[in-house]
Structure 1
């Protein structure tokens, strides 16, 4: 049994009504045929496979139909049967392929035969296909005949390049330009043909067939014919079409687009590697990615583009595109599409297309490295999307103001007590503990003097915690970990000590929508984080960067792995038990607890200092702060006096170190008692710098395990 004809031959139109997508040509021709106003020469131009030669045959049938003048051939007369789809042909309708018969000799032969009358039809019709292949000499040989043909002669030139037809010939014809067939029209036409053939085809496969045909009816039917020949019992499936036609599967495109939206570089480059490993062409993948981004850009501008027919996609694919658009901003999509389009142009003739594809992906993932307007808008889109995760802005999400540490340049001028004891002014004082300090030399005990009871300061009232974010905000632990680097960057601009905790001690280990848990490997850093007010700073940074108002919880998690560098020194441990009071005359004063405001002056008066430090004048209004006010005391071997007797105090090396620490604290407190007149010249001991971490109170707490309080005279 003979094999069936190709689809484009079996379903070739026989009337103008069957020609699809060319109504702007067929309707005027039908009107001219019906009104008997047919010209002697026509020029049909347009892309390949769009119906030029088919329309020329239909025009010849209509001209020679026994019922002429008629708009469409009747299909019943002898001429119509001869020129039918499977007819034997007519001797009076001559088709010439100009690609092989375009020379001057062929034109002369045609001119000699054209003057003979038709054998049995009304007109002798010459259909010259690929007319642009006729040489200039051949056109010149035909010029006189085309300009003044005999009454029985008609010419129809068909070409894909009408500009190559010499102007003298083109000016003597009626020019009808054919166009590519719209995708939606081709889709419905293919569905109808599959019904006629009795073969099922998945809706998701139809766009691939239409795309492969590129608007050409003949090419599209050729692709469909190939798929129908290889279809199994399930018909033409999407997997079959994507595999045979070489297009990127939608699953890969969905994966790479989702990875771009999440900023997941590992997933993006994993998709690129999969493309190469499966043998796909990087250029085709880049082209398919650009098409997908184009669809997303259209949906972001027109949400109902798929339903209105603006995009030719299936229903389930339209739902996926809408979900992907919600993860992007318009500026991000436009920037990504521009980068892919530029990279696709650079891939033409490139010897390393994979490298170019990876560079394109890297540029899309790093909008922060793009200082153009598109890069700034892309970063703004990300910030707005993060703020919209919880559905509220930072101001709306926090009903009560939370304490926030401002940068050093934005802080108000500190008070005298805050400059004298920065750590005590920031945090409430814990339980008092006596601190031993060596005296310069043993002195007789003074007469007991009454010491007034210190007035306890009211405990600071903590700000009411902000209401936690509702779990229904849609924020997950994965989202928090993905956005956590931005939170750390925000904290770094607020307080460096908090930033050190987050980068070297803590890790995000849990999130339930209302509480964000930070895991610490040791209890020391955890307690330092809780007592230092760092949780409030982190909470505000989470509000600003992620848009979720959550409570920060510090827990011990042995599995937590700090993200960078060695851990900082452990936080100050709890104050050790007070040593036994020395005997009178041993040189160790007694101390008692006071508040931050009353401890500065007595401590300055009682602490042993060297002679130069006692004679230093107060700085003037125009002088810079002395170095001893902002720098730690040098290790110059300073000895305050004779070592205490055995059993009455610490070792000589420890005594010398404690004396230097006490001397440094007294100098700082003395400087705080006489601030400069110029408010810009004061020393901000609470500045968030490296010196702040080495202040005297913190050194005493870390090295000696105690807290500086007021000294009580002996016998008091």
Structure 2
């Protein structure tokens, strides 16, 4: 019968304790100068060396050459207290989980006054000391405060806060810590060499990750893997399958699918993981771990050289491409979503459903209206601008064409002047300028700085807000860019944006440069069509996002007939005509209120009345309240 690895390789001296130099060095100095305290409190996570260090301390105190920081290992006491030794009657280990009552404390107090039988000191090692009751600690208080010269106490616990403060104040407290991954990996590799077992670097990384800084847990896992390994040794695939981690190839496929916005690929990976019997929460943890690594790679390109990551070079190249394809803001947003989803998974009765909802939200950046979501959409627009300028994004993944919008159309030159806003004028309206000597309102200041809606940009070096394309887009391209179109419409005319999101409106058809927009009710369709600037705002937004000249046709979803009825059109791309002011007038008179300035429905007062049914009237009443709020926000003078 073989001995377990965590027992076989248990440290016998302080020099063999790994990752706890902040504890072992002070203890060795105290032993070297014979200044050992009568009571110690060793605290820290499980499997990090607390009980082993207590045994080494007892061994160092009772060595024939001691007290010494380095036990000789030859004398009878050292042989008895070795990891594989029979033990010593003067070194008593007590499990407080089952012997923490007041009667056990009284029995210990009575036996402690007897001198040691064969050793220099009698040492009590009380494991799981936080399980001792308050009455038990009170029974030991006087003994711990003033013990006889031959008595030493070592309390070991994972929860030092539960130890009675009066006991803690009479001890020297040494906090143990989790072993760093690099130190634990080196220790496990050395043990594999001693055991003559071949192990792949990827499998060793999984053991270190599963051990989570605990040497005992890591050795138990390694022992299990070695016991079931074949002639090829411990492989990464075998370790991942046994420990329940996601295969690296599936993880790469999921991450690259998320970077491309490829929903079918990501959901196929989720199905493969579930069909293989893996835990959805573990898969989400693996995704979060990879996102963390990508954030580190993006922020610190030489992370392996700095010791922040320990991955093979070929994996680093792949991770650099993935980080570049995501973008820093998108990585942060994705990590936040997965982290929040993991919290929702805790205790969930449908973990697969929660996992699929996490994936769905990762694939729809526009659904997140928070600060991170806005930054992610802005970063996406900037990346698309980089594509439209003729270059490719650094680190672009294969099959990038499945991203948010098409990227293979001919692009406009970067320094070419870009037209903004609708190019169809409103007949009879004079161009408005602020009066001479008067302070312009906030709205007029914004309009004068931005220029008229249809006027060409004066500064040809200014970059457009979103990418533009010369060729008309198909319906699929319009649908992919529809969220950006709605955002651009909101910047031009909030009333039009509110009408489009009420229902919401849908893209019914795209015929060349004509787009057919369907509304859920006739009232919404007429409300949108009666305001000419609504169609101009939508057409201008399409030009901003997709380029070209666009005409708008509106219809009612579910209506019958040979085709959608054209209730209004708007074209964008040509210079907008303006009425000139009279030469005798001098400065222009203050402008008349525009539809956006009017409270209520936001349409011109000369528009014909709209006949609505009772249900449509209720729908419009709700809409009016929303539109009134948005119009008031616009009219800040």
Q: Which TM-score band (shorter chain)? A: 0.5 to 0.7
CA 1:165–1:488 in structure 2 vs 1: closer, same or farther (change >3 Å)?
closer
**Aligned twin of 1:637:** none
Alignment of 1:125-274 (within 5 A): 125-274=123-272
Q: 1:401: Cα distance to partner?
A: 4.6
CA 1:99–1:397 in structure 2 vs 1: closer, same or farther (change >3 Å)?
same
- Contact 1:383 1:545 (C-alpha < 8 Å) held by counterparts: no
**Aligned twin of 2:422:** 407
For the residue of structure 2 that corresponds to 1:84, the secondary structure is: coil
- Contact 1:180 1:216 (C-alpha < 8 Å) held by counterparts: yes
CA 1:409–1:19 in structure 2 vs 1: closer, same or farther (change >3 Å)?
farther
- Once residues 336 and 398 of structure 1 are traced to their aligned partners in structure 2, the CA distance between those partners, rounded to angstroms, is 33
**Aligned twin of 1:375:** 373
- Unaligned stretches of 5+ residues in structure 1: 415-479, 506-537, 552-564, 570-629, 632-671, 682-716
- Once residues 483 and 134 of structure 2 are traced to their aligned partners in structure 1, the CA distance between those partners, rounded to angstroms, is 72
- Once residues 488 and 349 of structure 1 are traced to their aligned partners in structure 2, the CA distance between those partners, rounded to angstroms, is 37
- Contact 1:7 1:225 (C-alpha < 8 Å) held by counterparts: yes
**Aligned twin of 2:97:** 99
- Contact 2:475 2:510 (C-alpha < 8 Å) held by counterparts: no
Q: RMSD of the TM alignment (CA)?
A: 4.0
- Once residues 64 and 122 of structure 1 are traced to their aligned partners in structure 2, the CA distance between those partners, rounded to angstroms, is 5
- Contact 2:366 2:483 (C-alpha < 8 Å) held by counterparts: no
Higher relative contact order (CA 8 A, sep 6+): 1
**Aligned twin of 2:443:** none
Q: 1:312: Cα distance to partner?
A: 3.1
Counterpart of 2:382 (choices 381, 384, 392) is 384
Q: 1:199: Cα distance to partner?
A: 0.7
Q: 1:300: Cα distance to partner?
A: 1.3
TM-score (norm 1): 0.59
- Once residues 353 and 402 of structure 1 are traced to their aligned partners in structure 2, the CA distance between those partners, rounded to angstroms, is 52
For the residue of structure 2 that corresponds to 1:408, the secondary structure is: coil
Larger radius of gyration: 1
Q: 1:502: Cα distance to partner?
A: 6.0
Counterpart of 1:322 (choices 316, 320, 326) is 320
Q: 1:392: Cα distance to partner?
A: 8.1
CA 1:50–1:400 in structure 2 vs 1: closer, same or farther (change >3 Å)?
closer
For the residue of structure 2 that corresponds to 1:149, the secondary structure is: coil
- Once residues 491 and 142 of structure 1 are traced to their aligned partners in structure 2, the CA distance between those partners, rounded to angstroms, is 75
CA 1:284–1:399 in structure 2 vs 1: closer, same or farther (change >3 Å)?
closer
- Contact 2:102 2:136 (C-alpha < 8 Å) held by counterparts: yes
CA 1:374–1:152 in structure 2 vs 1: closer, same or farther (change >3 Å)?
same
TM-score (norm 2): 0.66
**Aligned twin of 1:73:** 71
CA 1:179–1:404 in structure 2 vs 1: closer, same or farther (change >3 Å)?
closer
- Unaligned stretches of 5+ residues in structure 2: 394-408, 430-473, 490-506, 517-538, 549-559, 570-576, 583-587, 593-637
For the residue of structure 1 that corresponds to 2:94, the secondary structure is: strand
Q: 1:396: Cα distance to partner?
A: 10
- Once residues 77 and 320 of structure 1 are traced to their aligned partners in structure 2, the CA distance between those partners, rounded to angstroms, is 56
Deviation by residue 1:72-114 (Cα, 9 ceiling, x = unmatched): 2111111111111211211111111111221222112211111
Alignment of 1:302-451 (within 5 A): 302-389=300-387, 390-391=390-391, 398=413, 401=416, 407-409=422-424
**Aligned twin of 1:37:** 35
For the residue of structure 2 that corresponds to 1:288, the secondary structure is: helix
Report how many residues are paired.
Answer: 464
CA 1:354–1:96 in structure 2 vs 1: closer, same or farther (change >3 Å)?
same
Q: 1:120: Cα distance to partner?
A: 1.6
CA 1:395–1:240 in structure 2 vs 1: closer, same or farther (change >3 Å)?
closer
Deviation by residue 1:13-36 (Cα, 9 ceiling, x = unmatched): 011010001001000000000000
- Once residues 155 and 421 of structure 2 are traced to their aligned partners in structure 1, the CA distance between those partners, rounded to angstroms, is 81
Q: 1:487: Cα distance to partner?
A: 6.7
**Aligned twin of 1:440:** none
- Once residues 51 and 19 of structure 1 are traced to their aligned partners in structure 2, the CA distance between those partners, rounded to angstroms, is 7
Q: 1:499: Cα distance to partner?
A: 5.3
- Once residues 189 and 357 of structure 1 are traced to their aligned partners in structure 2, the CA distance between those partners, rounded to angstroms, is 36
**Aligned twin of 1:500:** 511
For the residue of structure 2 that corresponds to 1:306, the secondary structure is: helix
- Once residues 172 and 55 of structure 2 are traced to their aligned partners in structure 1, the CA distance between those partners, rounded to angstroms, is 16
For the residue of structure 2 that corresponds to 1:158, the secondary structure is: strand
**Aligned twin of 2:400:** none
Deviation by residue 1:639-697 (Cα, 9 ceiling, x = unmatched): xxxxxxxxxxxxxxxxxxxxxxxxxxxxxxxxx9xx9999999xxxxxxxxxxxxxxxx
